[in-house]
Amino acid sequence: MSNGRVFVDITTSLDGFIAGPNDGPELGLGEGGERLHQWVYDLASWRAPHGLAGGKTDRDSEILDEAFRRTGAVVLGKRMYDNAGGWGDNPPFHVPVFVLTHEARDAEAKEGGTTFTFVTDGIESALQQARAAAGEKDVSIAGGANTIQQFLKAGLIDEMQIHIAPLLLGGGIRLFGDLGTGQIELKATGVIESPEVTHLRFRVAK
Amino acid sequence: MSNGRVFVDITTSLDGFIAGPNDGPELGLGEGGERLHQWVYDLASWRAPHGLAGGKTDRDSEILDEAFRRTGAVVLGKRMYDNAGGWGDNPPFHVPVFVLTHEARDAEAKEGGTTFTFVTDGIESALQQARAAAGEKDVSIAGGANTIQQFLKAGLIDEMQIHIAPLLLGGGIRLFGDLGTGQIELKATGVIESPEVTHLRFRVAK
């Protein structure tokens, strides 16, 4: 099973956007951005960590649940944290979360097992702390795009699961941007099709 | 079967590039760009229209062949034509090709049934001519990115088959760019997985 791997699990439009234009604290995922995640909101495995009962238990739900269960710790960027308003009193992570930021700030312990630790000394430090917190589980690099790109450029991502929502957003925040790294080889490790979304799995060649 | 549909059939990297950095007449598909098409060169259905015998006849080959057989005419941009040096004496299209350009130029009839007609009065005119030439077959909008984007913005694309090659190019020419259209809904109509490439099919919602 999983064992300290570092992974990205994220939904994009076919044109590669993870948020629409004008994302931020007011618009959240930007214009059209919520549409990207339409496939998750009815799933039991999305509803449970958000404190909601019921929901569908189909293959999409299993895939989301697998990602949730393998996650022992999360790394994300401060912009994502701010855009989500800190996810309220009971955030959906339920594991230690390490937030990349430039300003030192006290850690926060929320309900339901989520802790936020603010890391000011870079991605390698955040990953080291996340690995320690995750134990035998995996570390999720949750976003935003800039954070994921930093980890990719540093060669620190082992696996990616990209959920392609069937739409073009036409603008917004790109998952990959222009990495400027030259070619990075991947290995396609699985494709799962559902009416709502196409799940693509890749390993990053090392 | 097909009946005058307008489609795009193109290979991209996972980060959405159809050519690497510095594409042009010298480097062709740019740095790393040839890697995108690695999956086609050994296929019987790629080799035959290029005048080469033999090759693999697997599912990838069938998919390429299906796209070839449905194509009654092609529209492409002058930059693509120039980057390919006009494809020599016996181009791999073997159908009428309509080249979008700003400079009037005499039509060219090549060996093997390919004709190049240079269209100076815009995409709708090119499409009208291509439809007439295609008869009951479909029209392929072959590229480059700018041409495909023009057709998408004008709402003229019915279907897309995107072949995702398992790599990140990190830079180059994006298939979709920033369309600036707002949201365009698609319907995922099929996924076919192979070791070399993942084929995704979409219909454009009208």
What average pLDDT does range B27-37 have in this prediction?
A: 90
- For residue A143 the two structure tokens come to 């976003």
Q: Give this prediction's pTM.
A: 0.95
Q: What is the pLDDT of residue B25?
A: 83
Q: Choose the closest CB to A179 out of B15, B31, B197.
A: B15
C-alpha closest to that of B136 among B69, B80, B72, B189: B72
A 58-87 near B (Cβ less than 8 A): none
Q: Apex CA B65: angle with CA B21 and CA B60, to 5°?
A: 65
- Cβ of A199: how many Cβ atoms within 10 Å? 22
Instruction: Give pLDDT, residue A24.
Output: 85
Give B134-172 pLDDT, tens digit per residue.
999 999 999 999 999 999 999 999 999 999 999 999 999
Instruction: Establish if A35 touches chain B: CB-CB under 8 angstroms.
Output: yes
* Digit-coded pLDDT (tens) for A96-118: 999 999 999 999 999 999 999 99
- Across the interface, whether the CB atoms of A16 and B169 are under 8 A apart is answered no
Residues of A within 8 A of B32 (CB-CB) are 182-183
Contacts of A35 in chain B (CB under 8 A): 183
Compute, in degrees rounded to 10, the torsion defined by CA atoms A123, A106, A23, A64: 70
Tens digits of residue pLDDT in B121-134? 999 999 999 999 99
In which band, very low, low, confident or very high, does the pLDDT at B3 lie, cut at 50, 70 and 90? Answer: low
Distance, CA of A129 to CA of A117 (rounded, Å): 9
Q: What confidence category does residue B1 fall into, taking pLDDT thresholds of 50, 70 and 90?
A: very low
Distance between B166 CA and the closest CA of chain A, angstroms: 5
- Above pLDDT 90, what percent of chain B? 89
Q: How far is A25 from chain B (nearest CA, A)?
A: 20
Structure tokens, A69 = 């269960």
| B162: closest chain A residue by CA | A14
Which amino acid is residue B7, in one-letter code?
F
CA distance B179 to chain A (A): 4
Residue-level pLDDT at B163: 98
pLDDT of residue A135: 96
Measured between beta carbons, which residues in chain B are less than 8 angstroms from residue A168? 152, 176, 179, 181, 183-184, 186
Pull the structure tokens for residue A51. Answer: 């404190």
Q: Within a 13 Å sphere around the CA of B206, how many CA atoms are in the beta-carbon half? A: 8
Q: How many helices (H) and strands (E) does chain A have?
A: 6, 12
Q: In chain A, which residues have their Cβ closer than 8 Å to the Cβ of B30?
A: none
CA dihedral (B79, B172, A201, A21) in degrees, to 10, reads -100
| Whole-number Å distance between alpha carbons of B9 and B160 | 6
ipTM score for this prediction: 0.95
- B31 chain-A contacts, CB cut-off 8 A: 182-183
Please state, rounded to an integer, the average pLDDT across all residues of chain A. Answer: 95
Whether B196 contacts A191, CB under 8 Å: no
Placement of tokens 């092609």 in the chain: B74
Interface contacts (A, B; CB < 8 Å) = 111
Looking at residue B89, what is its pLDDT?
95
Classify strands B184-193 and A167-168 as parallel, antiparallel or unpaired.
Answer: antiparallel
Distance CA B72, CA A159 (A): 41
Residues A81, A25: contact at Cβ < 8 Å? no
pLDDT tens per residue across span A176-195: 999 999 899 999 999 999 88
pLDDT at B2 over 60: no
pLDDT tens per residue across span A121-173: 999 999 999 999 999 999 999 999 999 999 999 999 999 999 999 999 999 99
pLDDT band (50, 70, 90) for residue B189: very high
Question: Taking a C-beta distance cutoff of 8 angstroms, is the pair B64, B9 a contact?
Answer: no
Q: Are A195 and B179 an interchain contact pair (Cβ–Cβ within 8 Å)?
A: no
Closest chain A residue to the Cα of B161, Cα to Cα: A14
Nearest CA in chain B to A166: B186
Residue A3 above 70 pLDDT? no
Q: What pLDDT digit, counting tens, does each position of B69-119 carry?
A: 999 999 999 999 999 999 999 999 999 999 999 999 999 999 999 999 999
A90 touches chain B (CB under 8 A): no
Report the DSSP beta bridge partners of residue A50: none
Q: What is the pLDDT of residue A26?
A: 85
Is residue A35 within a helix (H) or strand (E), and if so which, with residue range?
A: helix A33-36
- Mutation target for B interface from A12, A173, A178: give the one with most B CBs within 10 A: A178
Confidence of residue A1 (pLDDT cuts 50, 70, 90): very low
Contacts of A152 in chain B (CB under 8 A): 168
Residue of B14, B17, B186 to mutate when probing chain A, most A C-beta within 10 A: B14
Q: What is the average pLDDT score of chain B? A: 95
> Is A135 an interface residue toward B (CB < 8 Å)?
no
Best of B13, B157, B184, B196 to mutate (most A CBs within 10 Å, chain A):
B184
Residue that has been written with the tokens 């979409």 in this structure: B202
- Asked if B190 is an interface residue toward chain A (Cβ–Cβ < 8 A), one would say yes
Interface membership of A182 toward B (CB under 8 Å): yes
- The answer to whether A201 and A159 are in contact (CB under 8 A) is yes
